[in-house]
Amino acid sequence: MSLQRERKPNAAPFAVWELDWQDYPVAFKLRGLAHHVISVKIPVIFPPGDVPILPMSSSQHWFIAHREDAARVLLVQEQVQSQTERHLETAHGHTRLQARYDWDAVVLDSTARRMVRTDFELFFEREDWFRQHNLPYRRGYLLWGPPGNGKTATLRVMAAHPHIRA
């Protein structure tokens, strides 16, 4: 765990703990299961002996469970994932929980926030217009400025949009 600074609108930054999952396997016992379950992060490279399709740092979380408990483990995993927020994973393997789709949580000049939000949300409503005019249906943003002016917070809110899969 590491100590990070978090910001909210109209409030001073405050310290929060951020989990940094390492590559160590973890064994745990779930209520109602007869055996322990092991969670491990394993690098994924396919096909063997060829140029990897995925980057070398790519990995997947795997659960190792007894045959009797496998169906229950999958059910618990599905229930947990449906109740938790999505996450973003950086290039360095650090995982950070993603914010909800809440533009009010972005610390940014109100005019700039309104302009970016309006453009971003209108884009999803105008897919037919793009297709009708034979234009590629994509949008890019260039955010520039000194640290602490809301660039990353804006991207996190955009990534949390229901139409976006980060």
Flag the least confident range among 7-11, 34-38, 134-138, 143-147.
7-11
Q: Domain limits of the chain?
A: 2-97, 103-159
- Look at the chain and count its residues: 166
pLDDT of residue 158: 87
pLDDT band for position 46 (cuts 50, 70, 90) = low
What is the mean predicted confidence (pLDDT) over 27-50?
76
- Contact criterion met (CB below 8 Å) for 90 and 96: yes
What is the mean predicted confidence (pLDDT) over 88-93?
53
21 has a pLDDT exceeding 70: no
Whole-model pTM: value is: 0.42
Half-sphere exposure of 138 (CA within 13 A, CB side): 2
What is the mean predicted confidence (pLDDT) over 59-82?
82
58 has a pLDDT exceeding 80: no
Q: Could you give the CA distance from residue 52 to residue 44 in angstroms, rounded to a whole number?
A: 9
- pLDDT tens figures, 111-166: 888 999 999 999 988 989 999 999 998 889 998 888 878 888 888 888 888 777 65
pLDDT band for position 56 (cuts 50, 70, 90) = very low
Mean pLDDT of the chain: 76
97 has a pLDDT exceeding 70: no
Q: Could you give the CA distance from residue 140 to residue 138 in angstroms, rounded to a whole number?
A: 7
What is the mean predicted confidence (pLDDT) over 105-114?
83
- Contacts of residue 64, Cβ cutoff 8 Å, sequence gap at least 6: 37, 38, 39, 40
